[in-house]
Amino acid sequence: MKRLSSILLWPINTSEKLAEYFLFTYRKMLLIFFLLATVFFTWQASHIRPDASFVKMIPAQHPFVENYIRYKDDLAGLGNSIRVVVAAKDGDIFSAEFQSTLKQVTDELFFIPGVDRSALKSIWTPNVRWTEVTEDGFVGGPVIPAKYDGSKESLEWVRTNILRSGQVGILVGNDFRSAMVQVPLFDKDPETGEKLNYKAFSALLETLVRDKYSSDTVSIHITGFAKIVGDLIDGAFEVALFFAIAFVITMVLLYLYSGSVMGTIIPLVCSLAAVIWQLGILNLLGYGIDPYSMLVPFLVFAIAVSHGVQIVNTITLESAINGAEKLPAAKHAFKTIYIPGLTALISDGIGFITLMVIEIQVIQDLAVAASIGVAVIILTNLMLLPLLMSYVGVGRNAIAKAKRGIEKKNSHWHLLSVFATKKGAIVAVLVAIGLAVLGLYGSKGLQIGDLDVGAPELRADSRYNIDNHFITSNYSTSSDVFVVMVSTPEEHCSRYETLALVDRFQFYLRNVSGVQSSISLVDVSERVTAGLNEGSLKWRSVIRNQYVINASLSYVPAGLMNSSCSLLPVIIFLDDHKAETLKAVTVAVDRFAAEYETDEITFNMAAGKAGFEAATNEVIEMAQYEMLIWVYSVVSFLCLLTFRSLRTVVCIIAPLVLTSILCQALMAKLGIGVKVATLPVIALGVGIGVDYGIYIYSKMQTYLQQGHSLPAAYLETLQSTGKSVAFTGLTLAIGVILWTLSPIKFQADMGVLLTFMFIWNMLGALILLPAIACLLHPKEAVIETAD
């Protein structure tokens, strides 16, 4: 072990000497280099672009998504569309004024770039028709009669035609007080080939539709994926404001803590440099910023500040105790902090890298961004910072303040050192075990996936979700859509065998709890067959005669089959998108497929919003344990390398495990599911949380080696670094606690959980670590008896 670790740690140990030599020999040259690099990265960072793509948020390797991508072009009509509802505030839709607004909104949407104009639908578009069977056959026409003039009679015709068109609950609200425009979108503009710009599109909807037509009598409600993404991008940038606030608060706290102007400004500048470098490198590597990686700069800043504090603290103490000059003090600080700092940052970085096991692009991007961030901190805060401090020093005030602190010697830290004595340790460990049991019990209710209705990315009271609620409560189609793609050989999708099997499938689905209804080509065939037989319900079935079937499918609405007739999507509407519901559906589909699938007819999951959520949930459910195992193994291994003692590893890791358990219980309690946004939190929490343990234990080890008893060594540790550890916890918490104010729900969730983890990890390191150390009697603690 010893040899292995010395081999593995060789680069770190050697790099320390090397770095020290270079750093303090070529100070000016390096300063210029850092300056130029920062200028360059600032320029790069200023070009970083927002990047919210749908495919990145879903697990691309999952078979569901692979199936979707295979059939994507055929599913076009199903995919991306928005729904715009024009609602009358008082009265109903049968007024000339309302109809004129509806017409204008329809026209307005028609001309917005990115809209699939041929498929746009409202009662004002000619593709929405009514039909009726008479003794002479079918009659029909557009819902708005050709002679419409806004008069009472013509409005009465509109009412009759709407009833005959069967659009109540689809294009017209169930209460006749609102009407919908369905707006299918092109992902890529067929003329220019350009990708849809969600931000611009969403902004156009606001200015050209919502702002223009909202009035005292009419309200506008908009839902759809494009709108969610637009709102997400807008919301994500509000977070930038929080960054400014966090910066100011950190500055004030830093000054209060260090009492040094330079000791405040330099760490802030270096940490800011870290953020700029990180963003610059991301842009250089071709990454953009999405609503998830948006949060990484906060983390990087907070981590950077916390390491900066350690260095400033060491310089101050060195100057205060040994009266060292600026340069030697900085050198000493570098020497003291470099190895634990590097170990801590490497474990942070590797902790983040373990997120790569989750095959969802946004999480992987987040992992990359965060890892780059901590790598950059090694340069900016472990190297640049002592370099700068060697010029400016911490200042006399700070040194004087530190001296006073040392002389006092007293302090409340005594209270904490109780936990390094046997009695206190037993109590602390028992309480911890109790908490762990409670936590395990409490985390039983932890669910996978998103639990809230509507768009879970946004807050329940966001305008989007209010709009969504309006639409789901006034229209008959749910927004939680799960699509099963039934595939057949070409030209077989409308064969009797296929339709009869899909008919049975849809009937079978009705038994699945959470399934509201489903539609497919089968419904078209059945309804039209009944229609061709004078509307008689007794004919609402798939008829065995292929000619009858073909006649019934002479007009098929877009999206229910592909052009080569080898794909037949079954669109399933769900009550909600809870993990349980999605699971029930996937299990049911699998079971049906296992029993009825033939060589020719296969049932492939899954497209639709709920389909992707099901895929995401499956990936997350599997990845959550895999990720935990990885992050804990890696961090434990690093600790083992550094401290070469299994007991020490237990001392450092056990508090983190407790925090992870409690965090899961908290998630269960707050109704936050394990999802794309919250899964990284554990890895981030553990990765960063281990820093505290490493700093405290390495300091304590020094004192133990000097011959102190465990409680004494611990008290010394607290007096020298306890304050900075507590301060670190605080700065980290400040960095993330503001996220809870984000308009984006998952950012808020991440904020709550990270704050919780940072603070508990800190408490764990301050209380539980010495307690476990005391009980486990690692070799150093034996000295206690000899004392």
Partner 1 sequence: MSNITFSYSVIFGCLLTLSQWIWADRLFQPAIEQAAPERSLLLAISRAGDRLVAAGEQGVIIYSDDEALTWQQARVPSSTLLTAVHFFGKQTGWAVGHDGVVLHTQDGGQSWVMQLDGAKVNQLRVDAVTAELQYQRSLETVDPERLENLGYQLDDAKAALDGVPSTPLLDLFFVDAQTGYAVGAYGLFLVTHDGGQHWRYKGQILPNPDSLHLNRIIKTKQGRLLILGEAGLLMQSEDKGENWQAIDLPYQGSFFSTVEADDGLYLMGLRGTVLKRSVDNEGVTVWDYVDSGLTATINDSVIIGHHAYLVGQGGALLKKQGDSFEPFLQRGLRSYSAVESVGHYLVVVGEGGVSRIDVSGGAGK
Where along the sequence are the contacts to partner 1 (CB under 8 A)? 133-135, 168, 496-497, 500-501, 503-504, 507-508, 510-511, 513, 533-541, 543-545, 596, 598
Identity of the residue, 378 or 528, whose beta carbon is nearer to partner 1 in the bound complex: 528
The dihedrals phi and psi of 139, each to the nearest 5 degrees, come to -125, 155
**Min dist. Cβ of residue 540 to partner 1 (A):** 7
Identity of the residue, 50 or 169, whose beta carbon is nearer to partner 1 in the bound complex: 169
**Min dist. Cβ of residue 140 to partner 1 (A):** 15
> Does residue 370 have a cis peptide bond before it, meaning omega lies within 30 degrees of 0?
no
- Whole-angstrom distance, CA of residue 366 vs CA of residue 368: 5
**Min dist. Cβ of residue 507 to partner 1 (A):** 5
The dihedrals phi and psi of 84, each to the nearest 5 degrees, come to -115, 125
**Min dist. Cβ of residue 545 to partner 1 (A):** 6
**∠ CA(730), CA(753), CA(310), 5° rounding?**
25
Q: Which helix (H) or strand (E) holds 345?
A: helix 326-353
**Min dist. Cβ of residue 544 to partner 1 (A):** 4
Identity of the residue, 291 or 514, whose beta carbon is nearer to partner 1 in the bound complex: 514
Identity of the residue, 472 or 541, whose beta carbon is nearer to partner 1 in the bound complex: 541
Q: How far is CA 302 from the centre of its chain?
A: 19
**Min dist. Cβ of residue 504 to partner 1 (A):** 7
Identity of the residue, 211 or 590, whose beta carbon is nearer to partner 1 in the bound complex: 590
Q: What is the DSSP letter of 177?
A: S
Q: How many CA atoms lie within 13 A of 559 on its CB side?
A: 16
Q: What is the dihedral of CA 211, 213, 217, 219, to 10 degrees?
A: -60
Residue 436, Cβ density class (10 Å: 0-12 exposed, 13-18 middle, ≥19 buried) = middle
- Whole-angstrom distance, CA of residue 349 vs CA of residue 375: 7
Task: Return the residue matching tokens 């000059």.
Answer: 325
Identity of the residue, 543 or 753, whose beta carbon is nearer to partner 1 in the bound complex: 543
Identity of the residue, 215 or 545, whose beta carbon is nearer to partner 1 in the bound complex: 545
**Min dist. Cβ of residue 739 to partner 1 (A):** 43
Identity of the residue, 20 or 132, whose beta carbon is nearer to partner 1 in the bound complex: 132
Structure tokens at 303: 């981590």
Give me the DSSP letters along 417-463: HGGGSHHHHHHHHHHHHHHHHHHHHHGGG--BS--SSS-TTB-TTSH
Identity of the residue, 532 or 730, whose beta carbon is nearer to partner 1 in the bound complex: 532
Q: Which helix (H) or strand (E) holds 661?
A: helix 646-670
- Whole-angstrom distance, CA of residue 658 vs CA of residue 682: 12
Q: Which 3-state string (H, E, C) describes 41-108?
A: HHHHHCCCCECCCCHHHCCCCCHHHHHHHHHHHHHHHHCCEEEEEEEECCCCCCCHHHHHHHHHHHHH
**Min dist. Cβ of residue 503 to partner 1 (A):** 8
**Min dist. Cβ of residue 602 to partner 1 (A):** 14
**Min dist. Cβ of residue 138 to partner 1 (A):** 13
**Min dist. Cβ of residue 512 to partner 1 (A):** 9
Identity of the residue, 263 or 514, whose beta carbon is nearer to partner 1 in the bound complex: 514
**Min dist. Cβ of residue 681 to partner 1 (A):** 38
Within 10 A of 11 (CB to CB), how many other CB atoms are there?
11
Q: Which residues contact 3 (CB under 8 A, 6 or more apart)?
A: none
The dihedrals phi and psi of 90, each to the nearest 5 degrees, come to -135, 150
Identity of the residue, 170 or 284, whose beta carbon is nearer to partner 1 in the bound complex: 170
**Min dist. Cβ of residue 538 to partner 1 (A):** 4
Identity of the residue, 317 or 532, whose beta carbon is nearer to partner 1 in the bound complex: 532
Structure tokens at 267: 């760490």
**Min dist. Cβ of residue 525 to partner 1 (A):** 13
Q: What is the dihedral of CA 609, 615, 618, 622, to 10 degrees?
A: -130
- Whole-angstrom distance, CA of residue 126 vs CA of residue 107: 12
**Under 8 Å between Cβ of 396 and 278:** no
Identity of the residue, 169 or 328, whose beta carbon is nearer to partner 1 in the bound complex: 169
Identity of the residue, 335 or 540, whose beta carbon is nearer to partner 1 in the bound complex: 540
**Under 8 Å between Cβ of 651 and 773:** yes
- Whole-angstrom distance, CA of residue 158 vs CA of residue 449: 44
